[in-house]
Amino acid sequence: MNNGTFPVGNICADTPTGDVTQTIVVGSHSDSVTAGPGINDNGSGSAASLALAVTLARLFQMTNYAKYAYRIRFCWWGAEELGLLGSAYHVAQAQNSTIIGERITDYLINLNFDMLASPNYIFGIYDGSTVDNTTTSRSAIPGSNKVSALFRDWFIRQKLPWDYTPFNGLSDYAPFLTAGIVAAGLFSGADDFKTQEQRDRYDTLLGQGQGGTADVSQDPCYHKACDSVQNINVAGYEKMVQAAAYVIEFLARQTDLKTWLYPPTAN
């Protein structure tokens, strides 16, 4: 695809096994704004997806690790910061494709990881209940809610704080939701301020002095030149990647993921 005078590219990599007509799409955008290097936004999400893909490839080489019944497709979207161009193009191509494995009907869910290591982070989970009913097919809503709860329950079991963050259509999950595909994901925060309540709650669960700073944005370097390698909270990042790995494994081990995500009552 092209945007003006320069090309915009997506990169996708698939597991070599698994049903291509039942695909779990794991996506992160690979671009940044021109104002900064974009190490948190979205080097953190891109690197997490790469680490998850490499880890899964290594696990698949182990004879005692059962292969998934579903194909996992890892995608790095181009030009998210210019208006979700890469993911929107991919979804549009899938909607028009008749190639088995490349059709929109072959996609079960999109897991979106966009900003996972904000310095004044929250453990943010996209809230399926805030999906825009005017732009989202009803079929995508129940599954989005279920996966939101799946992430939430993982943080609770780990005795970690968590917050729901709204689906506001500002990241690469939006084209999938519009196409009726279940979506979910994690978000560590951008220019919203951490509240005193959040700071106290995180401090209680993470340990004294670990709750961050109240009345300061979750990422003070959001879309700025200081979004460098120093703009990463490693401790928070680690937990977000672990949560992502858990949900991928949980979904991929379902006997009938399609019915789990799209219960008949939703139709």
- Which residues are tagged catalytic? 80
Distances in Å between the Cα of 161 and the Cα atoms of 130, 198, 206, 212 are 20, 9, 8, 12
| Distances, alpha carbon 60 to alpha carbons 15, 66, 240, 241, in Å | 9, 7, 22, 19
- Are 139 and 180 in contact by the 8 Å Cβ rule? The answer is yes
| Cα 104 off chain centre by | 18
Spatial CB neighbours of 241, under 8 Å, sequence gap ≥ 6: 48, 51, 52, 116
Closest CA to 24 of 87, 89, 74: 74
Q: Check residue 63 and report its DSSP letter.
A: T
Contacts for 190-193 with beta carbons within 8 Å, 24 or more apart? 190/41, 190/115, 190/118, 190/217, 190/218, 190/219, 190/222, 191/217, 191/218, 191/219, 191/222, 191/223, 192/217, 192/218, 193/217, 193/218
Q: Are 260 and 146 in contact (CB under 8 A)?
A: yes
Structure tokens at 57: 């490839």
* CA nearest neighbour of 23 among 264, 265, 248: 248
Q: Which of 53, 172, 61 is nearest to 111 (CA)?
A: 172
